[in-house]
A and B are shown apart, each in its own frame.
Chain A
Amino acid sequence: AQKITQTQPGMFVQEKEAVTLDCTYDTSDQSYGLFWYKQPSSGEMIFLIYQGSYDEQNATEGRYSLNFQKARKSANLVISASQLGDSAMYFCAMREGGGYQKVTFGIGTKLQVIP
């Protein structure tokens, strides 16, 4: 079974609008963490936000927030007030177990912000 599922291959959003990128995950571990990374066309991976499985509140980092629904095993990324520079690939990822080592990535969602 896929550990990380991103079902939206591509998304469009109007500039200044909010957009939600979906991510569901599968793990039997009690301790895990979920990440979102941004990959512009230049290729580098940019860390956006992290949510630990024991964190009671949803993570927020500036315009990024993570809608963590543990029972549904979903960790959607919400980007508020979209900007043209937000156009990129977005990857959801997960680490499992007590360590911080291995991270498994989803296949990504391509977001395009329309002026």
Chain B
Amino acid sequence: GAVVSQHPSRVICKSGTSVKIECRSLDFQATTMFWYRQFPKKSLMLMATSNEGSKATYEQGVEKDKFLINHASLTLSTLTVTSAHPEDSSFYICSARDPQNVRPYEQYFGPGTRLTVT
């Protein structure tokens, strides 16, 4: 099946700094990628939908100036958490759709990035 990677898998940063998380589709071109946030023992919350070559669509309540999303190519989307605070500590997961998939509803998930802000 299709593979989505995320980098880094874990990151610790100091409060006030910014951190970038990369999401890559390794063997397919993803016109659409999704960014989720998961709190401990909680569900996945969709943060934004990232479309290649256009601005991301953010879900209600998600600060677009804090969570910057860039989808510069068909295989890469990045999420930058700006001026991070401890409450931004979470598990961030990206997913991608392969438009060539015979099952167009299927999303391929990355392994996730554990962000800890100290």
Q: Is the CB of A91 within 8 A of B43?
A: yes
Q: Is the CB of B46 within 8 A of A102?
A: yes
Most buried by B among A33, A45, A100: A45
A52 to B106, CA, bound (A): 12
Interface residue A44 (Cβ < 8 Å from any Cβ of B): yes
The residue of chain B having its C-beta at the shortest distance from the C-beta of A107 within the complex is: B43
How many chain B residues touch the partner (CB < 8 A)?
23
- Identify B93's interface contact among A33, A45, A52, A104, CB under 8 A: A45
A72 to B62, CA, bound (A): 33
The residue of chain B having its C-beta at the shortest distance from the C-beta of A101 within the complex is: B49
A46 to B34, CA, bound (A): 15
Chain B's interface: helix, strand, loop or mixed, by majority? Answer: strand
The residue of chain A having its C-beta at the shortest distance from the C-beta of B103 within the complex is: A50
Interface residue A42 (Cβ < 8 Å from any Cβ of B): yes
Q: Is the CB of B109 within 8 A of A44?
A: yes
**B35-63 interface code vs A (CB 8 A; 1 in, 0 out):** 00000001111100100000000000000
Interface residue A62 (Cβ < 8 Å from any Cβ of B): no
Interface residue B28 (Cβ < 8 Å from any Cβ of A): no
Most buried by A among B91, B105, B110: B105
Q: Is the CB of B97 within 8 A of A100?
A: yes
Across chains A and B, which 4 residue pairs bring their CB atoms closest together, nearest first? Answer: A45-B109, A43-B112, A44-B111, A105-B43
30 residue pairs from A and B, CB less than 8 Å apart? A33-B105, A35-B105, A43-B91, A43-B93, A43-B114, A44-B111, A45-B93, A45-B95, A46-B109, A47-B106, A50-B103, A50-B105, A52-B105, A91-B43, A91-B44, A95-B105, A100-B97, A100-B105, A101-B32, A101-B49, A102-B46, A102-B49, A103-B107, A104-B46, A105-B43, A105-B44, A105-B45, A107-B42, A107-B43, A108-B43
